[in-house]
Amino acid sequence: MTYEAVRPAEFPWFRYDGYTFSLGLARTLPDGRTEAVLSGHSASEYDPGAGRIVVKGGMKDQVRTAYAKIAAILGAVGLGFADVTRVVENFTAAGLADYVEAEAVRREVFGEHLPPASTVVVDALLRRDALVEIEVRAVTGGGGATPIADRILRVSPEGEVYVPTAPPLGPSGEKPVDQYRRCVETAADWLGKAGLGLGSVVAVRENISPDVLPGEVDEMRRMRRELLGPDGLPPASSTVVVAGLAGHAQVTLDIVASVHSPRAVFPDGWGHLRDMGWTPAIRAGGMLFLSGLDGRDPGTGEAAPADDVVAQAEAAYQAVRTVLAAEGLGPEALCETVEYVTAAGLPAYRGVAGVRERMLRDGTGRDPVWPASTGLVCAELPRPGAQFLVLPTAVAG
């Protein structure tokens, strides 16, 4: 059940060859259904007059362009919007002000089919004028569905359940740790309607405000260990500092659960991380969810230079390969990567493409099937000096 790159016969926005990521990946499941994982897509398009890739229009126009691209990619493998099982909308802080416009277009595009939507706030996107970048997953028939109020939980082919973003809706002035707990309680309520509990959580992405103090971050880590994940171990996790979270929010969570029993993965030499309360990866069914890796060797603690985003990316992808190898996998098993780069690291970020070119080859000499990828800009990362973090997902079955 290997993935192949989706290559639409017609894709008028730009030439998609030559990148170290795919527009999207697709595979045929044993029951004959088609599954697809798409990269993040913005309104970027090639402008012959300007001789470069540009982004045009306000929120409504940008969302329409992004969904037109997504329709072309899904259509190339016989899928459509009625087959989508997850939507991730990565909004810039500036774009978030026009969220209602994006939501209106999404509802228009999907009609009666309601996929779970995650709202991720970032400080910027790689295309400077882009306000939003949209990722989707899809499978023939749209997956199993559990209604939760005006939202839907959908079970993907490998049993993963993507929980919609649960914003902290408490009173202004509420402490970050209270917001964290409120997000977890909301997720628990929604998962409960699907017959799952917090022990089924396999991955969590935490966005926090720069105002969150180190002691509060430590308290949230303790809550993650105690409340989420299997057998007393926390799920795979990543934490990103975002300056532009909406309203009085200081914390938002994006949670993934699984209907399969989760199992923690610790490569040789990484066992001490168990006592530190950090899980490198969680295996659940045929999926492998990795924690965010930021250029520090988890085995030795040695970190790549603070001012070298390319060296950090190389160290991060080497750690990815180590985790994959612990499950008998190579880089070809990666189906999705989300890369965060800080504003300080952004000027040199182009060099990371060369890192992917080297590190994501499987040693056979063949051109790899590049994973679906999304690049996001954040204010900073929790570890001092970190400028790069990759959040990978792999298919093990």
pLDDT digits (tens, 9 = 90+) for 114-123: 788 888 889 9
Residue 198 has a pLDDT of 93
Spatial CB neighbours of 342, under 8 Å, sequence gap ≥ 6: 377, 378, 379, 380, 381, 386, 387, 388
Is the Cβ–Cβ distance between 287 and 396 less than 8 Å? yes
Tell me the pLDDT band of 275, cut-offs 50, 70 and 90.
confident
pLDDT band at 288 (very low <50, low <70, confident <90, very high): very high
Beta bridge partners of 284: 287
Q: What is the pLDDT of residue 205?
A: 94
CA distances from 316 to 37, 233, 240, 322 (A): 22, 22, 15, 10
> What is the CATH number that goes with domain 292-397?
3.30.1330.40
pLDDT of residue 3 exceeding 60, the answer is yes
Q: Kindly report which listed range (146-155, 156-165, 169-178) carries the lowest average pLDDT score.
A: 146-155
Q: What is the CATH number of domain 158-286?
A: 3.30.1330.40
Beta-bridged to residue 239, according to DSSP, are 206
User: What is the average pLDDT across 165-194?
Assistant: 83
pLDDT of residue 143: 79
- The sign of the torsion formed by the CA atoms of 71, 74, 77, 81 equals negative
Read off the tokens for 83.
């087959």
Q: How confident is the model at residue 152 (pLDDT cuts 50, 70, 90)?
A: low
Nearest CA among 269, 169, 291, 153 for reference residue 224:
291
Task: Give strand ranges (E) for 84-241.
Answer: 84-92, 117-122, 124-125, 132-139, 144-148, 151-155, 160-163, 201-208, 236-241
Q: For the chain, what percentages of helix, strand and coil (3-state, to nearest 5) are there? A: 30, 30, 40
Q: 């504003």: which residue's tokens?
A: 343
Average pLDDT, the chain: 90
What's the pLDDT score for residue 1?
Answer: 57
Which has the higher per-residue pLDDT, 163 or 168? 163
Q: List, for residues 127-142, the tens digit of each pLDDT value.
A: 989 999 999 999 998 8
pLDDT of residue 10: 92
Q: What is the H or E stretch that residue 392 is in?
A: strand 388-395
What's residue 43's pLDDT?
A: 95
CATH 3.30.1330.40 intervals, the chain: 1-156, 158-286, 292-397
* Contacts of 349 by beta carbon, 8 Å cutoff, 6+ apart: 126, 309, 341, 375, 388
Separation between Cα atoms, residue 250 and residue 246, nearest integer Å:
8
State residue 170's pLDDT score.
66
Contact (CB, 8 A) for 309 and 362: no
Per-residue pLDDT tens for 17-54?
A: 878 889 999 999 999 999 999 999 999 999 998 889 99
1-156 maps to CATH 3.30.1330.40: yes
More confident residue, 216 or 367: 216
Q: What local confidence, expressed as pLDDT, does residue 364 receive?
A: 61
Question: Element (H or E) spanning 233, and its range?
Answer: none
Burial of 15 (0-12, 13-18, 19+ CB in 10 A): exposed
